[in-house]
Amino acid sequence: MTDTFDTIIIGSGVIGLSAAHHLSKRGLKVLVLEKNFPGSGSTTRCIGGIRQQFSTEASIKLMQESMKQFQQMEEEFGFSVEFYQGGYLFLAYSQVNLDSFKTVARLQKSLGLDIRILSIQECLEIVPCLNPENLLGGVYSPDDGQAYPFKVIAGYIQEIRKTQSVIRSFVEVTEMIVEGERIMGVILKGGEKIFGDTVINAAGPWAGEVSQMAGVELPIFPEKHEALITDRQERLFETMIVDYRPDGCYFQQLINGQIIGCYTPIPNQPGTDTGSSKEFLIEMSKRTIRLIPELNRAKVLRHWGGSYSMTPDGSPIVDKTDIAGYYVAAGMSGHGFMFSPAIGKYISDIIIDNQYPFDWDEFKLKRNFSQSELMK
């Protein structure tokens, strides 16, 4: 391949594609390299939740930008990405939990979010079929919601194809060419060399091992998560329901009526295995029915595994590195789908304008990783 590109992106998940879209919109010629096919990593295994309810100013601002872009996608792409603002309801089963929601709500409201602390009765008004056993209350944002990951990436691909940028599938980057302290390009499996002075690592759960090719260590570790989807149900509720108990779960009803959801396994399961387990199928079904007993008639159509790419503090790394021209947009810690529109825009701004959009300390590579996002 003799063509030259302004930026090479490793990985065509939703992060790499959003970055390619935003860089292309700003006139750059981008090459996206994908070892499998677009979305085949975590992106099409995700359940499509989108929320602004985070516990830090930087994450909330990031999500406010993402939300703005999700709202505009139908017009931009010319088709619906099934974006729907049905809300997000976090349930509280302990006073500690409820108090921490109240504390975080003060910050969220100060940044302009519509956040409502709910009594048990008010939770039942939002989700009438909710089992209130042991419930103390909740926190609800009506503006949060969902979109369909397959359609979002289809939109990005469509827009990228209208530009001079290129997406190549089934090509694996096996080496990065680094001379002195500067990136010079990448080498594909089979030996093809592609030269370029700007490379973004958007390799999702594989970002850590990809970064080692440039000699840059990243604190990013893949963790297995599973999800399931049921057949279509009559409309039962509009909001994502999040139960943070150690044996809790989170799920939502898609606009076509299907219920889609998952839980965070304890202990965490390291790795990129995408298998689906009988244990998850049984547990997730029990946990869902505990919250919405009416779902005992739902039939599970499919269940699958995928990866979260975790950082020690649960916030992504979106930054330049000590290798000039080598950037990272990874470690999404379970929020990469909802973060992707903003991260695509902001990594473009960082590369082109050499400027962070706002106080970016939370997303820098060199940061104190001891703080933790409360609403993980």
- Residues lying near ligand FAD in the complex (CB under 6 A) are found at 10-16, 33-36, 40-43, 45-49, 172-173, 202-206, 210, 225, 227, 262, 306-308, 330, 332, 334-338
Residue 117: CB minimum distance to ligand FAD, A: 23
Other beta carbons less than 10 A from residue 354's beta carbon: 8
Minimum Å distance from CB 132 to ligand FAD? Answer: 25
CB-wise, 98 or 259, nearer to ligand FAD?
259
Q: Minimum CB separation from ligand FAD for residue 174, in Å?
A: 7
Q: State the DSSP string of 166-222.
A: EEE-S--EEEEEEETTEEEEEEETTS-EEE-S-EEE--GGGHHHHHHTTT-----EE
Structure tokens at 133: 């056993």
Nearest distance in Å: CB 99, ligand FAD: 26
Q: Name the residue nearer to ligand FAD (CB basis): 137 or 325.
A: 325
| Contact (CB, 8 A) for 107 and 57 | yes
Burial of 213 (0-12, 13-18, 19+ CB in 10 A): buried
**CA atoms 33, 36, 38, 41: torsion sign:** negative
In the complex, minimum distance from the CB of residue 334 to ligand FAD, in angstroms, rounded to a whole number = 5
Cβ within 8 Å of residue 352, ≥6 positions away:
23, 26, 28
CA–CA separation, 118 vs 105, rounded Å? 12
Specify the residue, 20 or 127, whose C-beta has the smaller distance to ligand FAD. Answer: 20
Please, what is the minimum distance in Å from the beta carbon of residue 121 to ligand FAD? Answer: 28
Nearer to ligand FAD, 92 or 152 (CB): 152
Q: Which is nearer to ligand FAD, 211 or 233 (CB)?
A: 211
What the block records as the tokens of 246 is: 């150690």
Q: Which is nearer to ligand FAD, 98 or 218 (CB)?
A: 218
